[in-house]
Amino acid sequence: MKIDASELINELVNDTRSIVTTVEREFSNLSEEDLLMKPDGKSWSVGECLEHLSLYSDYYHPAILRAMKDTGPGKTKVVFESGRVGNFFAKSMLPKEKGFKMGSPSDKNPSKVGVPDQVVKRFLNHQKEMLRLLAMARDHDLNKIKVPISISKWIKFRLGDTFRFVINHNQRHIIQAVKASESNRQGR
């Protein structure tokens, strides 16, 4: 995938803002009970979806910031060219009409680590941080900077692919959370 770097960042900013709008509209006024209500025995609750994403943000946001600081701002390429592996994983996170379930590492699985109080606020704070990181990225080379992935420090994605992976992952689980909330409302 080749895309103008500035255009990619603009798309990712718009996607993140859309996520924030959805979360504020759909989940900000839910009770703690509603946030933790599972639509069925297997699916995650709204709170679990949000916490899962926050657990990934806990890893990726500092890793992205560190990679940008270590490399420093510099001459940026006009065109972002996705890496083969990074592009594959970023695309695999895109929400799909009939999505398929993927396993989560236990340290990122909210049904194992729990859901904290103020899970919506925690998630929204992470999205504000993502918008700040995207603004910083405008002065950095999305091709040159590499970010280690959460499951292996030895595998690194280009900065642009890392942003795509994280934000696509966010979109995927926000759709899941909205479906959980709708299912819970219908089940009452």
User: For position 113, what pLDDT does the model report?
Assistant: 77
What are the extents of the domains in the chain?
A: 2-186
pLDDT digits (tens), the chain, 188 positions: 999 999 999 999 999 999 999 999 999 999 999 999 999 888 999 999 999 999 999 999 999 999 999 998 877 779 999 999 999 999 999 887 655 566 676 677 677 777 888 999 999 999 999 999 999 999 999 999 999 999 888 999 999 999 999 999 999 999 999 999 998 888 65
Q: Does domain 2-186 have CATH number 1.20.120.450?
A: yes
- Residue 58 token pair: 């806990």
Task: Retrieve residue 64's tokens.
Answer: 């992205």
DSSP string of 152-179, one letter each residue: EEEEEEEHHHHHHHHHHHHHHHHHHHHH
pLDDT given at position 102: 64
Q: What is the pTM of this model?
A: 0.93
pLDDT recorded at residue 101: 63
